[in-house]
Structure 1
Amino acid sequence: MQDHPGDGRRARGDASRRAVLQAATDLASVHGLDGLTIGRLASASGFSKSSVATLFNGKEGLQLATVAAARDIFFARIVAPARSESHRARRLAALLRNALLYSRNRVFTGGCFFAAVSADVDSKSGPVNEAVRAAITDWYRYVEAQAEQAVAAGELGSERPRTLAFELIALTEQANSRSLLLRTPEPYDIAAEAIRDRLRLARADDRALAMLHLAAPA
């Protein structure tokens, strides 16, 4: 069977879109979504302004596609690897470890993409802001669900799993912001120790606690 003449163009278009989005997510992690302009992205990606505008049908389309791409990366780096853990407390520990490593290893130059762009959407409305808000809310709810299920299964002893999840997420977010501010990876080790201590108080098992010993950066 012969390929349709348009298949090659579509494949090239998809490859171009992926390349531009890789640059877009990195730029937005530093400059925020408001700073993600077609001109700046064209310079960073090597594509022309007209090509970028055509690929995404304008700035809002570009921003929405960038949020979706960052969300896919966040899931692949943090959530997907942790799902192999059937033990809920260990899955929770794996999620937190992965979140720390994703930021510490600078998957995005500006640290956590969603921490970087959240300031853009705090008091705003519109499709782009709602997309960011939805991604962050889903992450919070997923961590809360793991904490609640670990407590229900008797793997953690917290009476307030939602509060526990709030505290644990706050530690990962503080590590990200302080590391960027002070330009040192030390906050990730401090956060990992604090998370380990908090899970120990909640009676997590030794295997879960061991997950929070971060290996040295490569």
Structure 2
Amino acid sequence: MSPRRSAAEALGTRAAILDRSVGIASLEGLEGLTIGRLATELGMSKSGVLGHFGSKEALQLAVLDRAGQIFRTEVWEPALPAAPGLARLRVLCEAWISYLERGVFPGGCFFVAAAHEFDGRPGPVRDAVAARFDAWRARLDKEAGRAVDAGDLPEGTEPGQLVFELLGLVMALNHALQLHRDNRAATYARRGVRARLGSAC
């Protein structure tokens, strides 16, 4: 076997482990990941799974990265063609709602679940979850600030307050979908977004 093929196969195996891990962690939490379970489900040895990451914590961090890639593809990338500011913020919010409505992760928003699991547990995993939220909040804040500077939002709009409310709306949507299976929740969330951002029509 050539070194190039061997490296490609290793990357493919790592990707398969991460994809299965994301599915498990979405439903059962990052602590629900065990090397033994992954080995059984993927038809590998425990040492084979562990060899790709080195430790359970390293696996959890890699799973967070993989979930972040999925979130970026589903929510951030669709908004890139939109004009910066209010137009992009509207597209971001719609993509964000759609991501939850379509059940991209079987357990709802991966990062909301991870935050609930680790918010009171200091360590690298908690720090990584917090960093994801900080980065997302900063991105929303930047677009809100652009919209305010352009005069596209009501006078006196504070970007931080607006982002706080948008985060609250989407987290409420996640809760309603996951806990209550409320089929009205996405409609409510969209109404809430329109109330704060106006209609694009």
Percent identity between the aligned chains? 36
The size of the alignment, in residue pairs, is 200
Supply the RMSD in Å over aligned alpha carbons. Answer: 1.6
Alpha-carbon distance in 1 for matches of 2:80, 2:155: 22
- Pick from 35, 38, 44: which aligns with 2:35? 38
TM-score, normalised relative to structure 1 = 0.86
Partner of 1:22: 19
- Pick from 177, 180, 183: which aligns with 2:181? 183
Alpha-carbon distance in 2 for matches of 1:108, 1:9: 31
Alpha-carbon distance in 1 for matches of 2:166, 2:41: 35
TM-score, normalised relative to structure 2 = 0.93
| Residue identity matched to 2:48 | S
Partner of 1:70: 67
Alpha-carbon distance in 1 for matches of 2:44, 2:93: 37
Task: List alignment gaps of at least 5 residues for structure 1.
Answer: 201-205, 211-218
Distance 1:101 1:158, change over 3 A: farther
Measured after TM superposition, the shift of residue 87 of structure 1 is 4.1
Alpha-carbon distance in 2 for matches of 1:22, 1:147: 33
Measured after TM superposition, the shift of residue 119 of structure 1 is 1.2
- Pick from 127, 130, 133: which aligns with 1:133? 130
Measured after TM superposition, the shift of residue 130 of structure 1 is 0.9
Residue 111, structure 1, aligned to residue 108, structure 2: yes
Measured after TM superposition, the shift of residue 24 of structure 1 is 0.9
Alpha-carbon distance in 2 for matches of 1:102, 1:182: 18
8 Å Cα contact 1:121-1:133 kept in structure 2: no
| Residue identity matched to 1:164 | L
Alpha-carbon distance in 2 for matches of 1:93, 1:107: 20
| Residue identity matched to 2:160 | R
Secondary structure at 1:55's aligned position in 2?
Answer: coil
Secondary structure at 1:128's aligned position in 2?
Answer: helix
Task: List alignment gaps of at least 5 residues for structure 2.
Answer: none
Partner of 1:9: 6
**CA offsets, 1:45-103, max 9 Å, x none?**
44332221111112011011001111111111111110111141010011111111111
Distance 1:177 1:45, change over 3 A: farther
Partner of 1:168: 166
In the TM superposition, structure 1's runs of 4+ consecutive aligned residues that sit over 6 Å from their partners are none
Measured after TM superposition, the shift of residue 40 of structure 1 is 2.7
8 Å Cα contact 2:85-2:145 kept in structure 1: no
Partner of 2:96: 99
Alpha-carbon distance in 2 for matches of 1:158, 1:119: 35
8 Å Cα contact 2:74-2:99 kept in structure 1: yes
Measured after TM superposition, the shift of residue 158 of structure 1 is 4.8
